[in-house]
Amino acid sequence: MLSQKARYALRALFVLAERERGASVQIADIAEEAKVPRKFLEQILLEMKKRGIVHSIRGKYGGYTLGRPAEEIMLAEVIRTIDGPLALSPCASRTAFRKCDDCIDEKTCAMRNVLLDVRDATAAILESRSLASMVKDASVPSKKTSKKAA
């Protein structure tokens, strides 16, 4: 499940991606637009800064910018930065594998096989979707919303 912290991170990045390329945004403005508590946002932005997802600019006209073009920031990278592995269970993780405490045999575990499929499908979607695609999708009415209205 996506944590609230990861949701906040994605909303903050969305605010930065909507701005003109290279325009810095002060943390108070990001917090207000993304509806994220400022103190929590500071921690989130620091984590993303360490990974090069955002840059900070000091000074009177400083703030935060995207660390690279929105097209190059994949949603999977953001979620892994904030929440860790995408897998629902440590035995299904590609980056942080660990045998489950109650596992009898990981090679024949039917649950693990299902969780590997879920992890692979989730990763395929999140690794193919960029921050730019998320911003673009926001300007197009959702198919799911349209179906509910029909």
Whole-number average pLDDT of the chain: 87
Q: What mean pLDDT is predicted for residues 64-69?
A: 94
H/E/C letters for each residue in 14-77? Answer: HHHHHCCCCCCECHHHHHHHHCCCHHHHHHHHHHHHHCCCEEEECCCCCEEEECCCHHHCEHHH
Q: Is the pLDDT of residue 142 over 70?
A: no
Find where tokens 């594998």 sit: 97
C-alpha span between 2 and 12 (Å, rounded): 15
DSSP structural state of residue 130? B
Q: Which residue has the higher pLDDT, 89 or 66?
A: 66
DSSP SS3 for 87:
coil
Q: What pTM does this model have?
A: 0.83
Query: Which SS3 state, helix, strand or coil, does residue 79 take?
Result: helix
Instruction: Work out the number of other CB atoms within 10 angstroms of the CB of residue 44.
Output: 25
pLDDT mean over 134-143: 77
